[in-house]
Structure 1
């Protein structure tokens, strides 16, 4: 072993890339061969050493992170706000720094280009993403600079061909090196699709004009597989190429030819979007389009609708009439706008005096068999209007279609061309199924034994266990079972150490439970541990900006019971403990508990009473409960009697839509009356940006909350719970919208639904009949709680903002009607039709036609009567269209005899 390897090894151990490069540049061939011979054997050694150093860095970073959290806890601040956070992120960067020195060593020492390429592509020496500070490309270029030109060209080609088709990254080390060698050598880049994708991802758009690879790579943009998929959301390369073409750096004609070639190869519309945008940006003049009219006409039959749109637009601007075959291909398409364009083209051609009219008979036949009723009607009018100009063969072709058409259009066509129209089919009788039974909420089981209470696990994601624990603790601590409770809770109390009392806030019900257990076993433990000897449970409840109501209310209730325990006035049982597993409290149970309080002279805990009234089930109020409540004399009893007999109006909820950067948001504004304002009192709700705002009228921007925790707090006010759960609601953004299970819980809760429940249900109805909206609609219909017209208005709001398809909503409503909710579906339509149908001057679409046709069916199923102004207005329009015809049918049905 000579000094050459010792020197290189020392530089490798020091992770000094520059030193390794300098050594190898100065070595002769023999010294480089010696280094090349030792490198593979040393690779496992240096890898283990590097991993060991990385482990040390990771440990250091974890220690820094722990210390930062401790500092944040002491300062009662967020970790992200501490000054040491940003500095530490840079300081404790973790990365395998030995890779680059080994890559540079191999590139400078290995003799053959094939060997260097294999070394640089070893799995353990390939980094997926290379930070700028670890870039080894300049060093590798330096160590190979003295090699022969042919050798470097060979290495560049080999590295380029080793690139794989995985989605390239901007800072991929293999890509950066291959492109740098290709630019440095000037060799023709090999034709390799992954190389083209890599060039797109890694080449700086601002430097394209001076990139030596530009002329070679631009034509390959239109040839390589995967380019369109990579550039689906391109906002830079297309404008840059158009600018370079305008400056003469690349040929404009070449870009247009490339786009046309790529279009004719076909593909998905999304994968062709970049080329469509580039072609549109180039904006060819009519004289540039005319020589290629045949190509543009062929594009009309391509599956990608955006390409067909572009081709049709170019032909119109150039004043070129597509041949009959192109018109026919338009009329076979499924896109309504292209079918309408084909019909307009056919109308224009047929109006021109020409002997070639028979050539367009196949196109007319395609329109007559279109899946769109509007297209068929228009084609029938065209065929009848020009019936006398068709020759025998064309006439026979159209006559053969008569029997395949619906009875109305078929009869009109038969009168002009002969043939026999299909007879009117008998209308099937609508037979709905019975609505499903609404499941009764099960009773919530109490905890009656101390050993069971001690084993309960309190998880913040489960509202029922903390509720049962709190109820069981109060009951067991207030009767003869107190001694057994003390014995069983000793392990729970041991978790509450003295330092726990000095913490500013208790965020978990398990912490409160441990403190309650210790206070029960060691009375006065809290006062002895706190400076000044005064325990104040309320100050330990988290600040409102940190928690939403679904988590805050249980903590506040634990605090209230804990304070009563500290002061020796804990009641024998609680008023607000639910009787049902969905959080509802039966009226009979509440009255019975209040009767017991009055007999024993117990004063109700204020928050406990307020929570009880929020949970009070409306359907559980009986005449017997009202009579018994009327005999109560204490303030809590009188207040409960008032809620049983003259419940105040529910809070008003108003939805407001806003738009920000093409995203639609909806916010709920809650307006409380004086009774509910008193009931909620100081209960806060998180406001915008995490700031707290009191729940006093009006309440802007309630906080997003899962109904799993929120509904047990507001079990008797599902409309209010729905309002709190949709703050910042963005349809089709799973991260910020209530889930289907939240909708299920709201459906089985109590109280009026209101606009927020309607919005959530509308969102899921837009998933179609197989989505999560049909069953909740059926259950609401069965319980009589469906906000039908409001649901229709919210469906319209989502559809107008492009958050779904009318066809999916219609399919879901059809399924709901078939399963028994046909009367409720009609109520939905009475809200949807006025809010969604086009007004004066607004453009009608096929979705509007399908909706009115569906409304006519449902009106027939339900026997609906009574004029709808929006339908009457459409029916009275002078200009006849398919929408107007459908509106006239619906209007005649609604205003005709029963």
Structure 2
């Protein structure tokens, strides 16, 4: 008996040893990244061994996450093996799905999916279905690993997932030259196609702009399947209409619109959805609205649209800004009034909605239509129409008076220019008084870096320095609690090099305070600094970084009690008297200013401040080198603004290029004080013997803090913004005019660089960037800093050579004028027009610009005729250009003012090189 028990125990020990070796073999294979060996090794493990292995796999996964980039290739291989091994070791469906779909493991999923299916081959179908549904609920996994989820669905026989991610993955999988055949053969097609029309964002494969005859065109394929009965046609029509009514981006509506057009709703389907078509015509993007308008016009043509419905629809469409839609609606109304003049009383008040259209041609067309059928209405309607005529352009007042008699116009009153109030400078609030308040500020500028303002950044940085100097222990404890989960935080002594490539704003100082940055990294960053940059923006980022590394090196020491460069105004500027007081406090404490901090403070001090003269005298009397440098800086009448050269096509640049970034160059003027006395990171501001083109080839870094480097020198800031603004003109870059507000509020004179920056911003590709430019234009005008002649002539050169499109400029000018700044807008357009009017070939979009100019002159009463206007106005024909030229000439001849004459300032000429 005892021998039997002994043999049993021995066998158990041998089995455990064998299983233990099997677990070790699995873990060894995973650590070696041998993913192909994992399925076979898993088959040797029982449930208990898999549980044991799983604990080790979890620990290994945590370890691998913390590996540095130097082990990237090794990390990828191990994570692939981990994904497969963990999938086979988990017994619960939820845990298995979480492991398979883990972000760190799923990054390399496509090369491991067949291994995952292999290790799950013996699982219960219900279990597999549960995993499939859970994976389908993870958008990235369901899309990227569609084939894995699809295979799990097939093996389990569970319901087909209809999540957005799964549908996206399906569309990618079936799209190809055999799209129709794939859809026809797939039993899931009838279920998933209607789901597409329920999605907020249409899958990319369905939005491709391809020819309807192309094999990858989804609407064509689905239309054929509907004709074959594979798909329910009526359901598709319902789905398309519902999707178009929900609205959204034009990109997402392209597919349902194309599909609906190919399905060709029947007359009954069109009549039964009149309200839907009216809703689309009123609010949908232009292509959808045009389609709905066409259907409604067809219904009206066969008498299936009542007069009340036509009036309701017209009122909504005529309120839209798209001229094509408005003109088409006026055409429809003309046809209907011709058929039924008795409907005039109901339709003419709607036609009058077009009296307020910005296009005077549309106004004229609407006015003539009203005049044609005016005898058909009673006196009450006539009075309503006369009131509506008050918003007509001055060009149509004579005809309106003939129709309705004298009408009151708001602009019959004396003209008064409307400009925004001059922005008042805001004082930067004092640093946080308590550690708790400071931590709140630090969280804002650290975790909300993209939204934190320069003012918040500077206030938090100065507060951090002050509290670290006064009470480092309390501050350290508070930061440890608030930033325990920060990306740079780790165990004490963990000195991974998180800041090898960037400071990440105030984070580098916080990490240093907590002992998470190697002293050698701080030393190297201060001594070596950034590598030389090929563009000014890289150099500006280096300045910001140098300040942060200096603070990191001195934080909590007696050498940095507070920041000299902390701004007193929200623009980043410092009052001279305040900087004098700070230097006096340093002297009294026997502290030598930190070099980078002092240099930045000098660049920020306001030379034009009323206290500058007295501060210079007081600084000289301090008896310190820093004080004397402040005195010299305040009395030196120099600007840091670089010289500008603007090259035309064929002069040093490739013929035919349209990029302004390729054609202007900046030359930094030599300033010995900067080159000899400032830290190395600033010395590029003291001059260089080389010229650099404006185009940038770097990722934009801490751009929010660029204006704060030289807030007292607006021309320098403008020159630095030029490459960014150029990207908004000739490339599809958004947000390029972000610095215009800082430019409008900065100190210093306004010259060629500022006006060139403004001209480029006004010609930006995107509307939001042009809006920022318009705001800057109006603020500069309100401050008395705008030279409209210089801006107009700069724009003339940019438009004349094709850099700035006339249509974009017209849009910006129209926006500026609509604020009530008609005189300011005209003063910019007046010197611009002669160049465009004299062009050998008609400038595209000039008619729109002349329309804006005419509107401005009609409102503000300017006079004087730009050269070339008469020749264009006297051309034969009735084109928009000729009509608007005639309108402008008529308005100018009725005016009393003159076109502003040059005030003597220099400007940037695009027709030649100017130093």
TM-score by length of 2: 0.55
Does residue 60 of structure 1 match 2:63?
A: yes
Partner of 2:691: 697
User: Contact between 2:791 and 2:828, CA under 8 Å: does it hold in 1?
Assistant: yes
Please state how far the C-alpha of 1:340 moved relative to its aligned partner. Answer: 1.4
Match of 1:548 among 527, 533, 538: 538
Does residue 380 of structure 1 match 2:371?
A: no
Take 2:138 and 2:64, find their aligned partners in 1: how far apart are those partners? 35
Please state how far the C-alpha of 1:378 moved relative to its aligned partner. Answer: 0.8
Please state how far the C-alpha of 1:406 moved relative to its aligned partner. Answer: 0.3
Deviation per residue, 1:838-883 (Å, 9 max, x gap)? 98646659975873365236634xxx55444576666555555574
Deviation per residue, 1:584-604 (Å, 9 max, x gap)? 6889999999xxxxxxxxxxx
User: Contact between 2:756 and 2:791, CA under 8 Å: does it hold in 1?
Assistant: no
Cα gap change, 1:401 to 1:253, in 2 (>3 Å)? farther
SS at match of 2:364: helix
Matches within 5 A, 1:665-676: 669-672=664-667, 675=670
Cα gap change, 1:227 to 1:726, in 2 (>3 Å)? farther
Partner of 2:389: 406
Take 2:288 and 2:421, find their aligned partners in 1: how far apart are those partners? 48
Matches within 5 A, 1:102-113: none
Partner of 2:856: 855
Cα gap change, 1:196 to 1:22, in 2 (>3 Å)? same
Partner of 1:29: none
SS at match of 1:231: coil
Cα gap change, 1:694 to 1:381, in 2 (>3 Å)? same
Cα gap change, 1:198 to 1:365, in 2 (>3 Å)? farther
Take 2:870 and 2:211, find their aligned partners in 1: how far apart are those partners? 54
User: Contact between 1:874 and 1:884, CA under 8 Å: does it hold in 2?
Assistant: yes
Does residue 619 of structure 1 match 2:608?
A: yes
Does residue 721 of structure 1 match 2:730?
A: no
Take 2:216 and 2:549, find their aligned partners in 1: how far apart are those partners? 72
Please state how far the C-alpha of 1:274 moved relative to its aligned partner. Answer: 1.3
SS at match of 2:64: helix
Cα gap change, 1:175 to 1:877, in 2 (>3 Å)? farther
User: Contact between 1:706 and 1:742, CA under 8 Å: does it hold in 2?
Assistant: no
Cα gap change, 1:220 to 1:848, in 2 (>3 Å)? farther
Match of 2:324 among 319, 329, 337: 337
Partner of 2:470: none
Partner of 2:905: none
Partner of 1:273: 254
Cα gap change, 1:255 to 1:857, in 2 (>3 Å)? farther
Matches within 5 A, 1:281-680: 301=278, 302-303=280-281, 304=284, 305-310=286-291, 322-323=301-302, 328=310, 329=313, 332-333=316-317, 334=320, 335-344=322-331, 356=339, 358=341, 366-370=350-354, 371-372=356-357, 374-382=361-369, 384=371, 402-407=385-390, 423-426=407-410, 427-428=412-413, 436=421, 439=424, 540-545=528-533, 548-550=538-540, 552-553=542-543, 617=606, 619=608, 647=638, 650-653=641-644, 669-672=664-667, 675=670
Take 2:128 and 2:630, find their aligned partners in 1: how far apart are those partners? 88
Deviation per residue, 1:506-527 (Å, 9 max, x gap)? 9999999xxxxxxxxxxxxxxx
Take 2:574 and 2:222, find their aligned partners in 1: how far apart are those partners? 77
Partner of 1:517: none
Cα gap change, 1:19 to 1:644, in 2 (>3 Å)? closer
Does residue 758 of structure 1 match 2:758?
A: yes
- Which sections of structure 1, spanning at least 5 residues, go unmatched? 25-34, 36-41, 69-78, 107-118, 447-456, 471-498, 513-528, 561-575, 594-604, 688-692
Deviation per residue, 1:224-254 (Å, 9 max, x gap)? 4645644264367785985459999968555
User: Contact between 2:813 and 2:825, CA under 8 Å: does it hold in 1?
Assistant: no
Take 1:162 and 1:707, find their aligned partners in 2: how far apart are those partners? 40
SS at match of 1:211: helix
User: Contact between 2:712 and 2:748, CA under 8 Å: does it hold in 1?
Assistant: yes
Partner of 2:904: none
- Which sections of structure 2, spanning at least 5 residues, go unmatched? 1-11, 28-36, 228-232, 432-441, 447-453, 466-494, 510-518, 551-563, 583-593, 900-915
SS at match of 1:785: coil
User: Contact between 2:330 and 2:366, CA under 8 Å: does it hold in 1?
Assistant: yes
Deviation per residue, 1:114-172 (Å, 9 max, x gap)? xxxxx689975883786231457855996599x9xxxx9x9999988997797952425
User: Contact between 2:865 and 2:893, CA under 8 Å: does it hold in 1?
Assistant: no
Cα gap change, 1:322 to 1:554, in 2 (>3 Å)? closer
Larger radius of gyration: 1
Please state how far the C-alpha of 1:52 moved relative to its aligned partner. Answer: 3.3
SS at match of 1:544: coil
Deviation per residue, 1:155-202 (Å, 9 max, x gap)? 9999889977979524257842466459xx8x9979999986664355
Supply the RMSD in Å over aligned alpha carbons.
Answer: 7.9
SS at match of 2:205: coil
SS at match of 1:671: strand
Take 2:850 and 2:221, find their aligned partners in 1: how far apart are those partners? 49
Cα gap change, 1:680 to 1:857, in 2 (>3 Å)? farther
User: Contact between 2:573 and 2:605, CA under 8 Å: does it hold in 1?
Assistant: yes
Partner of 2:747: 749
Higher relative contact order (CA 8 A, sep 6+): 2
Cα gap change, 1:675 to 1:858, in 2 (>3 Å)? farther
Cα gap change, 1:92 to 1:215, in 2 (>3 Å)? closer
